[in-house]
Amino acid sequence: MSYPHKLPTTLLMLLLVAIAGISALWVPNGRSATPTETVLVTRIIDGDTIVVNGQTTIRLIGIDSPERDQDGYQEASEHLSQLISNSFVDIEYDTSSTDPYGRTLGYLFQENIFINEQMVSEGFAKATPIQPNTKHADRLHQAQQNAKQAQKGLWSNQ
């Protein structure tokens, strides 16, 4: 004896699985569907380097902020701290996950804010893509152009 009422349930389940799979690939704000990891920012080292979960050093991909002995260092560090210090962020990885110094490389997102891009768009860092990690290079270059035109941060004296 067959149970015709089970067929619609099976189809419904397949449909829900298909919808879930498709929606997992769509991410708002131009963010890719690359796997991410959620971590707690426990320390800001400078405007492009942080420590998460009390132990892992993360270098923000595609940007370069002033170093300790350069103008803008303090401002960049403080701005990144205001954005993400003691909060949870998602790390998105690119082709290479570490740099020659052993730091983990990542793009940071907090809710719908792309932190790497935010640092560049506010003039606290320069767009500096390094092969092979160039997934968001176009966005970062556009953010830099906008910061230059608005004479923000690093571009304020130009």
- Active-site residues, by number, are 59, 67, 103
Distance CA 76, CA 78 (A): 5
* Phi/psi of residue 14, nearest 5 degrees: -65, -40
* CA neighbor of 85 nearest in space, from 124, 132, 43: 43
Distance CA 106, CA 36 (A): 9
Q: Are 97 and 105 in contact (CB under 8 A)?
A: yes
Instruction: Name 40's Cβ contacts closer than 8 Å, sequence gap at least 6.
Output: 52, 53, 54, 86, 87, 88
